[in-house]
Amino acid sequence: MKWAGWRLGARDVADAVAAVAVALLIRYAMVDPPGPSSPWPAWLAWPVAVVLGFPIVLRRRRPRVMLALACAAALATTVAGAVAAGAIWVSFVPTVLVLYLVASTAPVAWSAAALAACLSAAATAVLVFYAQVFPGLAPPATPSELPPAWPIEMGMIGVLLTAAWAIGAVARWKRNTTARLVRHLAESAVSDERRRIARELHDVIGHSMSLIAVKATVANHVAEARPQEARAALAVIEQTSRSTLAEIHRVLNLLRADGDPQQAHLPVPGLADLPELAAHARSAGIEVELAVREEAALPAAVAMSVYRIVQQSLTNVVTHVGPTRCAVTVDVDGREAVIEVIDDGPRHGRPPRAEHGGHGLIGMRERAKLYGGTFSAGPRPGGGFHVSARLPYDPEGAPA
């Protein structure tokens, strides 16, 4: 709802209701006080109550201005004798409510200064009232059980103002702490996403560049003697380069803003792409035996992790071992995905070009850890290398 150019929300309506309730309380305290009544006419209790309660209505629009107005109105009505002895604290209730909002939104130094100013104004008003107005008031018809006294009035107002400021300051601190925590979690999410994208790029580029390097070496050595074989190697390089560029585009597209209508996501690799992966490895001289047993549908996220683990394992074989025999087994039973990649080691006793390791094994271990699974990799007693990973999951694809 809009009124006078402002949009009235639920909080504005609540403030208006609170202002009406406080105005009624002030009016009742003025016409039926616990101490001597005000010398002012009874009908003036209504406009005075409206003036005192008005700052509550606009406290969210102009909190600092409304605090000054509420405190000044309470000070003026008290000094003028419009309030009654024993109920002066009621006229400062609007100041209490506005001070809470100021303390919950303004800097602590500013709100503390506002608290000190309000306390000083209240003390001044009470002392002036009891020194100049109270002696001239007629005694009440029915004596109160708690006779009016300025220490009680000042103490009541001081407790209310201090409590409102303290609660508001705590609310502001809690809100700021929550905001900082949300920002920290957002920054952590961004960092995690960057690491994930970096791992994706490592897997894609590492695998493809290994094949390209092997085929380029072959083409370079046989270009003159066996041009047909060189052209075949160049064809593999061309195909691998194209597919690699497509995957790099898919991964980098994750950096785009969500909801981009121009976004064209490429399919996420999964178990159906393992034969093509094995074919690439065979083109690099690796005799790959691929066995995939899928008894249940595998969620896309888990399938991509399985694909990346197999991809990195074959990349390590191409890069560090060279032509050899390699067995890849993927077993999916509906509760977990088990991956095993075993190679026979270099042929003819030739030592491997480098030990299996580096960021590839780290990335595979992180993928298994993401699903609460296990990962192991190491040399086999009879030669070669063995990679094993287990990824438990639930049917929705979340970690088990």
Tell me, what CATH number does 374's domain have? 3.30.565.10
Q: For residue range 37-52, what is the model confidence (pLDDT) as tens digits?
A: 666 777 777 888 888 8
Q: Which domain holds residue 301?
A: 275-400
| Residue 386 DSSP label | E
Dihedral, CA of residue 41, residue 143, residue 21 and residue 157, to nearest 10 = 100
Q: Do both 50 and 165 map to the same domain? A: yes
Q: For residue range 297-344, what is the model confidence (pLDDT) as tens digits?
A: 788 778 888 888 898 888 888 877 778 899 999 999 878 899 999 998
Q: Give the Å distances, CA to CA, from 155 to 116, 126, 377.
A: 14, 11, 74
Average the pLDDT over 99-117 and give the result.
91
* 328's tokens: 């890849």
| Residue 368 belongs to some domain of the structure | yes
Q: For residue range 216-259, what is the model confidence (pLDDT) as tens digits?
A: 776 666 666 777 766 676 776 766 676 666 666 666 665 554 44
Number of domains in the chain: 2
Contact 367, 339 (CB under 8 A): no
Q: For residue range 239-251, what is the model confidence (pLDDT) as tens digits?
A: 667 666 666 666 6
> What per-residue string of b and e applies to 69-106 under the rule 16 or more CB within 10 Å gives b?
bbbebbbbbbbebbbbbbbbbbbbbbbbbbbbbbbbbb
Q: Do both 280 and 394 map to the same domain? A: yes
Give the whole-angstrom CA distance, residue 325 versus residue 361: 20
Q: Is residue 36 scored above 70 in pLDDT?
A: no
Contact 248, 208 (CB under 8 A): no
Q: Do both 32 and 152 map to the same domain? A: yes
Comparing 265 with 131, the larger pLDDT belongs to 131
| Residue 166 belongs to some domain of the structure | yes
Q: For residue range 151-192, what is the model confidence (pLDDT) as tens digits?
A: 888 888 899 999 999 999 999 999 888 888 888 877 776 676
Q: Do both 176 and 310 map to the same domain? A: no
| Residue 245 belongs to some domain of the structure | no
- Could you tell me which residues are beta bridge partners of residue 378? 386
